[in-house]
Amino acid sequence: MKRRQFISLLGGAMVVHPLAARAQQSDRLRRIGVLMATFAGDPAGESRLAALRAELAKLGWTEGRNLRIDVRWGADADAARLQRYAADLVALGPDVLVSEASMPTAALRSQTRTIPIVFQGVFDPAGQGLVTSLAHPGANITGFSMFNAPMAGKWLEMLTQIKPPATHVAVLYDPKPA
């Protein structure tokens, strides 16, 4: 199986979307580096990691047989520590890197421009400079955003339809990456 196909399958697994067709696999052990934003043992983080493993298994990718997943947990959001974890994962030479949230994704991006990075849970990746645009991420990075700035106008429109006559709305926004 070619690297691009493997990465495509990984992208599908990230959204926990089962695919009907199984890809033909090579005997080579594939490696995924994962940089989590939470701490080991965090129920939400563990659940997302379990979902990734389960969906990959449905596609025939099993840890210990044809897949190795190296995970680093970066719960304290210490930028220097995230950089060390990102450098550590890149040094392992994975086929693809997976991250969640802005700071882990930025740490991985600063460490490599060649290993594909698939992110999830990043708010406004284009605004943070992680991707060129949502339609065409560019370089070695792509993923799934939790927030798309142009959608904010649609949310306001929906709010006025749900609760007329809404005349005042407050918005709290922190433009710094999480």
Cα separation, 96 vs 30, in Å, equals 9
Cα separation, 112 vs 99, in Å, equals 13
pLDDT tens digits, 67-79: 999 999 987 678 8
Residues for the chain: how many in total? Answer: 178
* Residue-level pLDDT at 18: 37
Max intra-chain CA distance, the chain = 62
Contact 94, 115 (CB under 8 A): yes
| Inter-CA distances, 89 with 14, 69, 78, Å | 18, 10, 17
pLDDT tens digits, 22-55: 445 567 899 999 999 988 999 999 999 999 999 9
Average pLDDT over residues 83-98: 97
Give the range with max mean pLDDT: 87-96, 98-107, 165-174: 87-96
Average pLDDT over residues 127-155: 81
pLDDT of residue 13 exceeding 70: no
Candidates 42, 52, 33, 54; CA nearest to 104 is 33
* Residue-level pLDDT at 144: 85
pLDDT of residue 178 exceeding 80: no
Question: What's the chain's average pLDDT?
Answer: 82
Average pLDDT over residues 73-88: 89
Tell the CATH topology of 3-149. Rossmann fold (3.40.50)
The helix or strand, by DSSP H or E, that contains position 59, with its residue range, turns out to be none
Q: How confident is the model at residue 148 (pLDDT cuts 50, 70, 90)?
A: low
The 8 Å CB, 24+ separation contacts for 126-130 are 127/175, 128/102, 128/177, 130/102, 130/105, 130/106
Average pLDDT over residues 136-159: 79
Contact 101, 125 (CB under 8 A): no
pLDDT tens digits, 100-130: 999 999 999 999 999 999 999 888 888 888 9
Q: How confident is the model at residue 14 (pLDDT cuts 50, 70, 90)?
A: low
